[in-house]
Amino acid sequence: MNGAEQLMRTLADNGVTACFANPGTTEMQLVAALDTERRIRPILGLFEGVATGAADGFARMSEAPAATILHLGPGLANGLANLHNARRAHSPIVNLVGDHATWHRDADAPLTSDIESLAGPMSVWVHTTARAEDLAADGAAAVTASMEPPGGPATLIIPQDTAWSDVDAAALSSPSEPGPRALVSPHHVDDVARLLREQGASAVVVLGSAALRRDGLLAASRVAAATGCRVVTQGMPSRAERGGGLPSFPSVPYFPEQAVESFADATLMVVAGTTDPVSFFGYPGQPSHPRPDSCDLVSLAGPEEDAAHALDALASALDAPASVRTDVELPPLPHGSAFGAGELGAALAHLQPEGAVVVDESITSGMGYSIHAVAAPAHDVLHLTGGAIGQGLPVAVGAAVACPDRRVIALQADGSGMYTLQALWTMARESLDVTVVVLANRNYRILQYELLRAGVAEPGPGAMGLTDLGRPELDWVSLAAGMGVDARRATTSDQFVEALRLSFATAGPTLIEAVI
């Protein structure tokens, strides 16, 4: 048994069941070892950002660690943007990054680079294995680090000789136990309950990712009913449950001036599963944090704590009503030739099957869906928490691998979809039940808004050329066909409804280019 084989056995013992890989020469022993450890499913991505994004999607839906295999510094670099997103989403991922053999590193071969320097910013843990006999234990430590609340990517750098050298099979490390999320103390809950009672409607509760699951949402609605406080959600949570009668709350506005206005009258902000809200970008004359200085900040539970449990305890401490009914209605199913973001959103909310996983990288075009989704059947929604575009299609791959019995819907802006379009090929190869809806507005619309906000009312040819996606227009039907994914274009509501129905009735991936 070599180091790579012992590593894979150890990872499987520690709950790793999927490995999203884009390997090279230095990872050949890791690749071969996957044939000796069949508990781990190997899945090829044709670009590293597909592999890391898929690992993120898998981890968000399975809440178990996903592994990746990446090729030295440049291979890791190609996967870093989606590891950035995974770090912000607290997704447990174990990156296995091959490196030159220990004795070959000083020769400064062409592919040599400082992998630790690259890995650090997007990892919660980075380690380089020194000897073959350490590799399996390092792998177990990586799993533990990735799962340590609140979780995140752990990067293990594996010099190739530690993978190819023989090890003593008896020395397998025993599985490690990552710690559970910490519970918030009853005293702290009582303190927060007292504050909320005192401040009533002047208080606002901000829910973050862990509080946005079913139990957290129900508890938060009870807290609101008992105290009159407002409840809002963080801007782009990593995973939230929605629809099927679950309570729904507005999110903190994206632009700081609107967020500032929304909190202007608040005297108390309680955060649960998240931290003090922060503006996505800094703008002249706007603060980094929209919360006014006069508003006290109290953390009920941080991202590393069990926020849903804390909210439930808070509702009990407040003697809140047992349940709060939420009743919303869908607009009619659109038909005819009119087709914009509103019709698209209404149609999708109408037709999406029970238990879907919606991967939302719709940027500016998804608003029409968001307002209707609360009335849709129960589903999970995965957002662009880290802000690095190009996560949608890869995350859809991973979510579909994690949840083979659920339909995955990737709501994908066209501009950001182009960053990691290679994910379509993996969907086809693995026959994943993914419905990709490309929202084709053929612009980086968000950047055109931002240019306007920067005072450029009439962009010149340079600025226009860097923000529009026409000349030539992207043809997503051809792109999908090139990677083996069935696709069609919809330019009317009728066409879109028909395409959605067909996709939901068909196993495997389909792509709908929605020209809106």
Query: For residue 107, what are the CA distances in angstroms to 110, 161, 374, 448, 484?
Result: 9, 15, 58, 48, 42
Return the number of other C-beta atoms located less than 10 Å from residue 36's C-beta: 14
- Closest approach of Cβ 386 to its own copies, in Å? 5
Side chain identity, residue 145? A
Neighbour order of strands in the sheet with 203-207: 230-233, 203-207, 268-272, 296-301
- Closest approach of Cβ 42 to its own copies, in Å? 5
7, containing H or E segment: helix 3-13
Q: Residue 299 has what DSSP assignment?
A: E
**Residue 317 dihedral angles phi and psi, to the nearest 5°:** -65, -25
- Assess contact for 332 and 309: CB atoms under 8 A: no
Cis before 277 (ω within 30): no
Side chain identity, residue 376? A
Residue identified by tokens 């206005």 is 261
Q: Show Cβ contacts of residue 465 under 8 Å, excluding neighbours closer than 6 positions.
A: none
Length of the chain: 516
**Token reading at 116:** 């630790």
Angle (nearest 5°) at CA 81 between 75 and 87: 110
Q: Where are the alpha helices (DSSP H) in 244-378?
A: 256-262, 307-317, 341-351, 367-373
Q: Which is closer to its own copies, CB of 165 or CB of 316?
A: 165
C-alpha 236 chain-centroid distance? 9
- Closest approach of Cβ 271 to its own copies, in Å? 14
- Closest approach of Cβ 28 to its own copies, in Å? 5
Q: Where are the alpha helices (DSSP H) in 14-127?
A: 28-33, 48-62, 72-88, 115-119
Q: Which of left, alpha, beta for 178 (phi over 0: left; psi -120 to 50: alpha)?
A: beta
Query: For residue 459, what are the CA distances in angstroms to 256, 307, 364, 445?
Result: 23, 46, 19, 13
Q: Which is closer to its own copies, CB of 260 or CB of 477?
A: 477
Q: Which is closer to its own copies, CB of 225 or CB of 481?
A: 481
Q: Which is closer to its own copies, CB of 24 or CB of 228?
A: 24
- Say how far apart CA 434 and CA 425 lie, in whole Å: 12
Q: Which is closer to its own copies, CB of 125 or CB of 425?
A: 425
- Say how far apart CA 168 and CA 427 lie, in whole Å: 39
Q: Which is closer to its own copies, CB of 182 or CB of 481?
A: 481
- Say how far apart CA 232 and CA 208 lie, in whole Å: 9
- Closest approach of Cβ 193 to its own copies, in Å? 29
- Closest approach of Cβ 514 to its own copies, in Å? 16
Q: Which is closer to its own copies, CB of 378 or CB of 418?
A: 418
- Closest approach of Cβ 516 to its own copies, in Å? 19
- Closest approach of Cβ 22 to its own copies, in Å? 8
- Closest approach of Cβ 460 to its own copies, in Å? 3
Q: Which is closer to its own copies, CB of 322 or CB of 457?
A: 457
**Token reading at 284:** 């002249």
Q: Which is closer to its own copies, CB of 46 or CB of 516?
A: 46
- Closest approach of Cβ 398 to its own copies, in Å? 17
**Token reading at 430:** 């693995």
- Closest approach of Cβ 234 to its own copies, in Å? 10
- Closest approach of Cβ 374 to its own copies, in Å? 24
Q: Which of left, alpha, beta for 473 (phi over 0: left; psi -120 to 50: alpha)?
A: beta
Q: Which is closer to its own copies, CB of 186 or CB of 484?
A: 484
Tell me whether residue 257 is exposed, middle or buried, using C-beta atoms within 10 angstroms of its C-beta: 0 to 12, 13 to 18, 19 or more: middle
Beta strands in 418-509 (DSSP E): 434-440, 486-490
- Closest approach of Cβ 2 to its own copies, in Å? 10
Q: Which is closer to its own copies, CB of 3 or CB of 334?
A: 3
Q: Which is closer to its own copies, CB of 29 or CB of 435?
A: 29
Q: Which is closer to its own copies, CB of 81 or CB of 217?
A: 81
